[in-house]
Amino acid sequence: MTTAIYPGSFDPVTRGHLDIIERASRVADRLIVSVLINSAKNPLFTVEERVQLLREETAYLPNVTVDSFDGLLVEHARKHGAHLIVRGLRAVTDFEYELQMSQTNRKIAPEVDTIFFTTSLEYAYLSSSTVKEVAGFGGDISAFVTPQVEKAVFAKIAAGRNKMR
Ligand code: COA
């Protein structure tokens, strides 16, 4: 049985991430989408909220589960008996960073390999930060995220503004 981990910040999950999740779920027997608990980033959503949104968006995929992790990715993979890490490559600019990460991970855990999915063309420019920036200026983000995530993003932004008043 092939177990794969798709790690990331998912703040919030975009249509680009969902595209990768759906395609990776056809390759692996079991796909675990893992939200990184990352104190270095200043997220819009809590880890629990991101996990919940991902669970709702992937509920139709029976072999996909969602969890969170901190510490080393390869240790998290080992804990789940996963030998594959899934990452998406959007453009050549992603390549150097991803290469470095996958080579470091293999040095630490030689049994864990990384497979890359080339992001579908329509999402090649997309990032979670772009979604948040456009939404912050009241722009239309419906092409980037699902209706459910769109609602959650605008609710969060509105709540943040109310708090500052
Ligand atoms: N569609 C849309 N956006 C995408 C995307 C896709 N297919 N693929 C990547 N992105 C965007 C993300 O939205 C994110 O945008 P943001 O920076 O605006 O939030 C950005 O690309 C970064 O991607 P993400 O997948 O969140 O990666 P990351 O760099 O935050 O985290 C980990 C990558 C989790 C794999 C890495 O940090 C990690 O393994 N951490 C654990 C510690 C560890 O083991 N370190 C050693 C590894 S060398």
pLDDT in tens, 23-32: 999 999 999 9
Q: State yes or no: is 41 an active-site residue.
A: yes
Task: Judge whether residue 120 has pLDDT over 70.
Answer: yes
Write the pLDDT tens digit of every residue in 38-55: 877 789 999 999 999 999
Whether residue 81 is predicted with pLDDT greater than 70 in this model: the reply is yes
Ligand 1 atom closest to residue 9's alpha carbon, by position in its atom list: 26
CA distance 50 to 82: 22
Cα 9 to middle of ligand 1, angstroms: 6
User: Cβ(132) to ligand 1 under 6 A?
Assistant: no
2 DSSP assignment: -
Mean local confidence (pLDDT), 71-79: 97
Is residue 161 part of the annotated active site? The answer reads: no
Angstrom distance (rounded) from CA 86 to CA 7: 7
- Catalytic residue, from 15, 17, 76, 132: name it: 17
For residue 128, report the distance from its CA to the centre of ligand 1, in Å: 10
Q: What is the pLDDT of residues 138-148, one digit of tens each?
A: 999 999 999 99
Segment 2-12 shows an average pLDDT of 97
pLDDT for residue 82 is more than 80: yes
Share of the chain residues as helix, strand and coil, in percent rounded to the nearest 5: 50, 20, 35
Question: Coil, strand, or helix at residue 104?
Answer: helix
17 is catalytic: yes
Mean of pLDDT over the chain: 95
Kindly give the number of the ligand 1 atom that is closest to the alpha carbon of 130: 18
CB distance 128 to ligand 1 below 6 Å: yes
